[in-house]
Amino acid sequence: MPYALDALRRRPGRAALTSLGIGLAVGLVVVLLAISAGIQSSATTLANASGVDLLAASANTTILSGGGFPPIADAHRLATEIPANDSNIEVASPWLVGDLVFGNQSLYARSNASDVPVSWSTTGSGSVGWIPDDNGGIQVPDVSNGTGFTLPGDPHYANGTYAGPVTHEIVLDQGLATVLGATVGSIVWASAVSPTGPSELPGWFANATPFRVVGISGPFWLIPSALLAFLYLSEMQGLVGGGTPSTDYASLLLIHLNDPTSASTDQLRIEARFPQLSVFTLADILGEIQHVVNLYRTFGTLVGVIGVVVAALFATTVLQMSVDDRSRELALLRAVGYSRLRVGGFVVEESLLLATFGLGVGLAVAYVGTYALNAVLLRLVPGLPAGFSFVAFDASVILTGIALVVAVGLAAAIAPAGRAMQLPVAEELRAP
């Protein structure tokens, strides 16, 4: 080892650049692994804390469907019948998820006066229609200001007649409330269609539905969005074209179990009794998330492997140059009794030292880079709960980095060590 250290000290610039190259390559791999580990770990923690033990969607639907979820018919009836058919089900909560367009009181007043500033417009927002008090055991956003929804059940549904009272109550998350300049008691207008310009605003307001803000909620990680609104299910249905006995639909049913350990049994029971549904367990959902993470990990691994291979080739070239520079010196060591294997070992030690210095650089770069990236992503993706992290800089990630460094060091030393072992002693010593 002293000989290898001396070799590096004699060429500090070359050694530093080589270690930096190895460190950057290993750091890239560690960052990619830390991100995949962080997403998987956080997703598992959140899913376990959500209270959602089963998720029901329309039959033949895949989890995490990019095209959205086909409607589930008879949403209110299913919310009652599913728990009635399985005593282990505490609640089957129908959620209708869609997009609505909102206008506030200021825009309403200016549109009536035909004096709408060019920069003013309606606001698009993700929206959820649900039965507010029928989410027992499921994690829902906390209302931080206001009373929240005031009537139990879904009053407008009125046992399927849709002739009950319309509450015109809405809860906005803090992001949407800020954009709309709305507070508890404000009136906002909602519609499923958007006006194309200021001239259409009077007609849009005439056809939109006014809602009174009864609460401001915190962000909701289950549907991460900067702008989110919550309405009674039947009133949301009315806005998006449902709201009749024949169009009583939802996007999903979130199911909470009294005993989640029997989730697979409850899954089979529900699918047998309600063939129009596809039911997923928490394990199914996490498995799908793991599949997505694995795809990302595979891509990241390919990128990382390319970087590591380039770093190994670079280190090989530098070590080869080092052997050539010291060929007479290495030949002299052979001449005074050092074996071929020992001389080759000096080169391997030098390579491992370079890789070790690279490990220090790589872990430092990866640590700073991952947490800087995590801070950026947390700002870009609103609605995430406290404690969520896109990265996990854990022992497995660090051990992977160490293993890569050792692999790079050994691989880079093969050719140069072989050359050092095969140097012609007599010719090197006779050389001028």
Do 160 and 137 sit in the same domain of this protein? Answer: yes
Do 77 and 207 sit in the same domain of this protein? Answer: yes
Closest CA to 132 of 147, 151, 145: 151
- Considering only the C-alpha atoms of the chain, give the largest distance between any 2 of them, rounded to a whole number of Å: 107
Residue 159 falls within a domain, yes or no? yes
Do 354 and 397 sit in the same domain of this protein? Answer: yes
N-to-C CA span, the chain: 29
Residue 53 falls within a domain, yes or no? no
Rounded-to-integer distance, Cα 77 and Cα 198, Å = 42
**Secondary structure (3-state) at 256:** strand
Do 111 and 28 sit in the same domain of this protein? Answer: no
Do 323 and 424 sit in the same domain of this protein? Answer: yes
Do 24 and 128 sit in the same domain of this protein? Answer: no
Residue 229, strand partner residues: 127, 172
Cα 198 to the chain's mean position, in Å?
A: 38
Do 264 and 317 sit in the same domain of this protein? Answer: no
Rounded-to-integer distance, Cα 283 and Cα 421, Å = 56
Residue 123 falls within a domain, yes or no? yes
Long-range contact pairs involving 130-133 (C-beta distance under 8 Å, separation at least 24): 130/93, 130/94, 130/95, 130/96, 130/230, 130/231, 130/232, 130/233, 130/236, 131/76, 131/79, 131/93, 131/94, 131/232, 131/233, 132/230, 132/232
Q: Report the residue count for the chain.
A: 432
The answer to whether the beta carbons of residues 344 and 4 sit under 8 Å apart is no
Do 207 and 294 sit in the same domain of this protein? Answer: no
Rounded-to-integer distance, Cα 129 and Cα 146, Å = 19
| Segments of the chain with pLDDT less than 50 | 67
- Distances, alpha carbon 211 to alpha carbons 126, 171, 241, in Å: 16, 9, 17
Residue 52 falls within a domain, yes or no? no
The answer to whether the beta carbons of residues 100 and 123 sit under 8 Å apart is no
Closest CA to 149 of 134, 139, 136, 159: 134
- Compute how many other C-beta atoms are within 10 angstroms of the C-beta atom of residue 429: 12
Domain boundary among 210, 243, 275: 275
**Secondary structure (3-state) at 97:** strand
Domain boundary among 247, 275, 303: 275
Kind plus residue range of the DSSP H or E element containing 308: helix 282-325
Q: What angle do CA 79, 83, 86 make, to 5 degrees?
A: 150
Structure token pair of residue 378: 């947390």
Q: Are strands 169-173 and 209-217 parallel, antiparallel or unpaired?
A: parallel
The answer to whether the beta carbons of residues 173 and 227 sit under 8 Å apart is yes
- Its domain, for residue 226, covers 60-275
Residue 257 falls within a domain, yes or no? yes
Closest CA to 228 of 148, 131, 140, 127: 127
Do 26 and 127 sit in the same domain of this protein? Answer: no
Rounded-to-integer distance, Cα 139 and Cα 46, Å = 10
Q: Are strands 228-232 and 123-130 parallel, antiparallel or unpaired?
A: parallel
Domain boundary among 222, 249, 275: 275
Do 34 and 145 sit in the same domain of this protein? Answer: no
Rounded-to-integer distance, Cα 285 and Cα 298, Å = 20
- Please say whether the dihedral angle defined by the alpha carbons of residues 177, 182, 183 and 186, taken in this order, is positive or negative: negative
Structure token pair of residue 120: 């003013």
Q: Could you give phi then psi for residue 392, rounded to 5 degrees?
A: -140, 105
Instruction: Give pLDDT tens digits for 17-30.
Output: 777 777 787 788 78
Residue 3 burial (10 A CB sphere; 0-12, 13-18, 19+): middle
Residue 282 falls within a domain, yes or no? no
Residue 335 falls within a domain, yes or no? yes
Do 311 and 258 sit in the same domain of this protein? Answer: no
Domain count across the chain: 2
Do 39 and 105 sit in the same domain of this protein? Answer: no
Residue 21 falls within a domain, yes or no? yes
Structure token pair of residue 23: 């460190």
pTM: 0.72
